[in-house]
Amino acid sequence: EAGVTQFPSHSVIEKGQTVTLRCDPISGHDNLYWYRRVMGKEIKFLLHFVKESKQDESGMPNNRFLAERTGGTYSTLKVQPAELEDSGVYFCASTKVGTEAFFGQGTRLTVV
């Protein structure tokens, strides 16, 4: 069974540019989460999808971040325009109802 896959592994962009991160969850997992780890801090929740619907966006930093989940399958997280403080590692996780979360390898985003 394939795990959670994230693209790209690394991204270096200039301040003001746009970046789109992608997450392919485990097949059959309706729940999809985005998390972020900023350097020196703990991993923090960003948002939660159930199928294609956003259940909780309480962790999204601001309106420069836009997440979508097309047809309840893969998800994208777009940052536009990127700021220096957006640098960090972005993780995606998927679960079945009430079970443990399986994480992808993360996307390391560096904004210069």
Partner 1 sequence: EDQVTQSPEALRLQEGESSSLNCSYTVSGLRGLFWYRQDPGKGPEFLFTLYSAGEEKEKERLKATLTKKESFLHITAPKPEDSATYLCAVRPGSSNTGKLIFGQGTTLQVKP
Looking at 43, 52, 64, 76, which residue binds partner 1 (CB under 8 A)? 43
Helix (H, G, I), strand (E, B) or coil at 25: coil
Beta carbon nearer to partner 1, 68 or 83: 68
Count the site residues for partner 1 by CB under 8 A. 26
Which tokens belong to 27? 């097949």
Looking at 42, 62, 63, 71, which residue binds partner 1 (CB under 8 A)? 42
Pairing of strands 43-50, 31-37: antiparallel
Task: Name the DSSP letter for residue 62.
Answer: S
Which stretch in 13-21, 61-69, 70-78, 93-101 sits in contact with partner 1 by CB under 8 A?
A: 93-101
- The greatest distance separating any two alpha carbons of the chain, rounded to the nearest whole angstrom, comes to 39
Task: Name the DSSP letter for residue 91.
Answer: E
Is residue 106 involved in binding partner 1 (CB under 8 A)? yes
Which tokens belong to 45? 């929740």
Residues that bind partner 1 (CB under 8 A): 4, 6, 31, 33, 35, 41-45, 48, 55-56, 59, 91, 93, 95, 97-98, 100-106
